[in-house]
Amino acid sequence: MKLAFSTLGVPGLPLPEVLALATAHGYHGVELRAHPEEPVHPGLSPAGRAETAALFQGAGIEPLGVAGYTRVAAPGDDGPVLEEIRGLLQLAHDLGAPFVRVLPGADPGRPREEADAVAARRLGTAAEDAAALGVRILLETHDSHPTGADAIRILGPVGHRQVGALWDVLHTWLGGEQPSDTYAALAPHLGYVQVKDVASAEDTTPVPLGAGVLPLTECVDVLSRSGWDGWLCWEYEKRWHEKAAPLPELLDAGRDHLLRLLGDAA
């Protein structure tokens, strides 16, 4: 498996410094948080996109994905949602990134079947744009759809190879789902896996990998035993937790912990 980390852990850091961290600490890729407050986002100019792609290429680091905030099950018309997804897809294509992350984001008051159908319809439409650009859209296990069982209610009806799943191990755990059950649900659709660790269900402040309560050993074990050979991306949510330890000083230990888990699971 390949290792990456998200720029969510180093908010606002210039891309050359992010890539230098990845190189220095032995990570193969970087997931880009696509938000206007970050260096890379859908509003980036053509020149900026070309420069970003060149920086990745020069560093020998892969742009794993563009992590957007589009809520595919959100209320309202399809048009604005599809426009957001297409913007993310074009950005990923221009950077050479294989994946775009979207969120479920269903309204809690909306009937479940209706929200699922809306999300599936939108993703099915966007799948054609994704195919044309050679990028996969990944629905993250998150918010209204935290588990694999939730996500598959949307992904199953879409049934398109350019639409898949992003397994966020925190949310499936908070949803009470066992790693083996998550993998069973998402395996045909799985794009990559976001790993992280937290102190408890009540305190989700990020902690070093292995220092918290998330079932990382079990997650890596089920992936390895199943022969899955994709990406593990450390999403250290420093952006939302200012008092959390700085990510750069944790990168070596985090890499070593993941490599240990992979070695033990081999």
Placement of tokens 């997804």 in the chain = 85
Summarize pLDDT for 131-156 with one digit per residue, the tens. Answer: 999 999 999 999 999 999 999 999 99
The whole-angstrom separation of Cα 2 and Cα 39 is 24
Q: Which two tokens stand for residue 250?
A: 């944790």
- Would you state the pLDDT for residue 264? 78
CA angle 154–159–164, rounded 5-degree value: 65
Which stretches of the chain score pLDDT less than 70?
A: 265-266
DSSP state of 39: S
Q: Are 139 and 165 spatial neighbours (Cβ–Cβ below 8 Å)?
A: yes
- Say what the pLDDT of residue 173 is: 98
pLDDT value of position 265 = 66
Q: Map tokens 């008051």 to a residue.
A: 109
43 with 36: CB under 8 angstroms?
A: yes
Domains of the chain: 2-265 (3.20.20.150)
Of residues 26, 25, 32, the one with CA closest to residue 52: 32
Q: What is d(CA 136, CA 92) in angstroms, rounded to the nearest whole number?
A: 9
Contacts of 105 (CB under 8 A, 6+ apart): 70, 71, 72, 73, 74, 143, 144
**Using the 8-state DSSP alphabet, how is residue 248 labeled?**
G
Q: Assess contact for 119 and 73: CB atoms under 8 A.
A: yes
Cβ neighbours around 36 below 10 Å, total: 8
